[in-house]
Chain A
Amino acid sequence: MIMKSFLLSVLVILSACQNKANDKIVIGNFGSLTGAEATFGISTKQGIELAIEEWNKAGGVLGKQIELKAYDNQGKPEEARLSVEKLINVDNVVAVLGEVASTRSLAAAPVAQQYKVPMISPSSTNPLVTQKGDYIFRVCFIDPFQGEVMAKFAFNSLKLKKGAILRDSKSDYSMGLANYFIKTFEALGGTIVADEKFVSGDVDFKAQLTSIKNKSPEFIFVPGYYTEVGLIARQAREAGVKVPLMGGDGWDSDKLTEIGGAAVEGSYFSNHYTVEDPRPEVQNFIANYKTKFGTMPDALAASGYDAARVLLEAIKRANSIEGQKLRDSIAATKDFQGATGIITINEQRDATKSAVVLKVVGKAFKFVESVKP
């Protein structure tokens, strides 16, 4: 505690030394730019950069140029918390954008709430995130919906009745999503024959997979992040498990197919958007992103882009960067045409929008179906 107050006072002194020239509007971003979920942080940041660049070209917001301040949290919750502390106290940001992983959003949200600085998570889907306070928002759907989508897809579309679960006991996202999936799947009449766990950072999943294989499920639901999912897929095939794997938006990264190779072929996961969506908002975003960064944007990039645009629109509507006014303005977001769908912020400060189910084919993620809330 002494250490913490010391750190805080250092931060306050540092921030006092800062030149508070108000010629720019500073927006903060914190994410995993390195670590096992590095592509999440990098994609999100690039999406935000693109949105800011577009707005700056069009004259900025409230007559000022917009500047992005981004910090790497290395995929660690404690670093995420510290990043937000730094963004608010040292960099004096008007709002914070982040994180992707729910565990890290949950660690950082109380700080944003404490200082009454609005925080918008682009893609944290655990329902608890926005329950941390009335300054915490998200522009994506939540896990109860995502779990329901995948459970219905498995039961109704694929006609599978026996499932197994392999989830990450250290991740709020993974544990929550698995619970919601099981709830819907069992309510539909399916059975879960095995529920195994791993710990993020593990590399050996053979023991769990051997146990699962013995129960002969028709599919395995793995709500994890891409690095572990890729390794799990490989080891599943090596252990002789031939059934498809399924998962959530944590799968979305080009690293999934790099690590998983042929083992992830034919697997399904739910996501925020598909590059095959013909809407002009989506296709323009993809074209601009490709020109700027040279790669195809994944859903995390699209969500980052949307989060930044929702925030900038809100600043414009509020005609202010003052915390309370900005918060109310974000909360009033309605029918916003985003790259990841039409965003309306509901009373729980979550976005209600559709999810898509994608299938891994070669190195691409092919659109299978779209599910409305």
Chain B
Amino acid sequence: MNEFIQHTINGLALGSIYALVALGYTMVFGVLQLINFAHGDIFMVGSFIGLYFIRFAIPNAEPSIFTAIMVLIAAMVGSAIVGVIIEKFAYRPLRKAPRINILITAIGVSLLLEYGGQLVFGASPQFFPDILPRKLIDIGGDIILDSNQLTIFVMSFVLMQILSFLVFKTQFGRSMRAISHSLETANLIGINVNKVILITFIIGSALAGAAGVLYGVAYPKIDPLLGLLPGLKAFIAAVLGGIGNITGAVIGAIILGLSETYVAGYISSTYRDALAFVILIIVLLVRPGGLLGSKKIEKV
């Protein structure tokens, strides 16, 4: 039983990281019906921006909440800038083109970031230093709760709440949802479509940047191909929850994190990555809209 509880804690922490990445996927999809395959790589870029910020701006900083917040802000701002550049130069010129063009462009941007990253950052993995004071809390029965896991979990929950508020309670959110419904009509009724989409990319990329730093804190080995697997997993999580649905993305990510940990703990870690894709196939077969998604089938 204790082992099960420990697996559950670890699975929730893993799921929270997937959730942060999945939120960005789901937001961009919600607005543009675009699966932004470069999202996982913006997550990687965020992680490296965090690393270089620590190395060059605050090389002697002690691990503290303050340090962590500084690194997080730096990575979020940096990733947002990368997101804006990508939106402006890669996606905006294709806004009126068929959906498949922009999808392929997204894959191109993803490859550019991965292999460009190998040129800029080098192909060898680098070590992400500790930026948070770490405490291991024994919560009885030999079950250990890592303060970092708790931070990541709380962080993704808070960000999810902020996003929900933004999308459902503000004027900006209303514009976003209008565009999601019909881009042309939104344009006709006077919504500045380009501006809203740009802000969506800024928020999505900043979230990915934050996730990148938290990932570095949890798993301190980062390399330019780091975004590949978490990016795919987060995408699966978003599909599982119902792509375009914010709560769905978080629920999907948590389910994926938990089931991966249970599989690795009780069966074999060899099947861990396979499981995610099996889940994807089952969801697509049984409930193409996802757990919380609309029934409307989307062609991508």
Question: Quick one: given A203-B221, A227-B221, A259-B220, are A208 and B144 in contact (CB under 8 Å)?
Answer: no
Q: A169 contacts which chain B residues (CB < 8 A)?
A: 269-270
Separation of A74 and B125 alpha carbons in the complex (Å): 11
The B110-141 residues at the A interface (CB cut-off 8 A) are 122-125, 127, 134, 136, 138
Separation of A239 and B124 alpha carbons in the complex (Å): 27
Write the nearest CB–CB distance from B119 to chain A, whole angstroms.
Answer: 11
Interface size for chain A: under 10, 10 to 19, 20 to 34, or 35 or more residues? Answer: 20 to 34
Question: Quick one: given A207-B10, A240-B142, are A202 and B269 in contact (CB under 8 Å)?
Answer: yes
B205 at the interface (CB under 8 A from A): no
Question: Do residues B268 and A207 form an inter-chain contact, with CB atoms below 8 A?
Answer: no
B219 at the interface (CB under 8 A from A): yes
The A193-221 residues at the B interface (CB cut-off 8 A) are 196-199, 202-204, 206-208, 210-211, 213-214
Question: Do residues B270 and A258 form an inter-chain contact, with CB atoms below 8 A?
Answer: no
Question: Do residues A238 and B136 form an inter-chain contact, with CB atoms below 8 A?
Answer: yes
Question: Do residues B221 and A214 form an inter-chain contact, with CB atoms below 8 A?
Answer: no
B264 at the interface (CB under 8 A from A): yes
A284 at the interface (CB under 8 A from B): no
Question: Do residues A203 and B268 form an inter-chain contact, with CB atoms below 8 A?
Answer: no
B3 at the interface (CB under 8 A from A): yes
Question: Quick one: given A207-B7, A210-B10, are A240 and B136 in contact (CB under 8 Å)?
Answer: yes
Question: Do residues B144 and A203 form an inter-chain contact, with CB atoms below 8 A?
Answer: no
Question: Do residues B219 and A231 form an inter-chain contact, with CB atoms below 8 A?
Answer: yes
Question: Do residues A38 and B136 form an inter-chain contact, with CB atoms below 8 A?
Answer: no
The A231-256 residues at the B interface (CB cut-off 8 A) are 231, 234, 238-240, 255
Question: Do residues A35 and B265 form an inter-chain contact, with CB atoms below 8 A?
Answer: no
Q: B142 contacts which chain A residues (CB < 8 A)?
A: 213, 240
Question: Do residues B265 and A208 form an inter-chain contact, with CB atoms below 8 A?
Answer: yes
What residues of chain B have their CB less than 8 Å away from a CB belonging to chain A?
2-3, 6-7, 10, 14, 122-125, 127, 134, 136, 138, 142, 144, 146, 219-221, 223, 260-266, 268-270, 272-273
What are 7 contact pairs spanning A and B, CB under 8 A? A34-B124, A36-B125, A203-B219, A204-B264, A207-B264, A208-B269, A210-B265
Given A210-B3, A227-B125, A240-B144, 15 extra CB contacts under 8 A: A169-B270, A196-B269, A198-B269, A202-B269, A204-B14, A204-B264, A207-B260, A207-B261, A210-B6, A211-B266, A231-B220, A238-B134, A238-B136, A238-B144, A258-B127
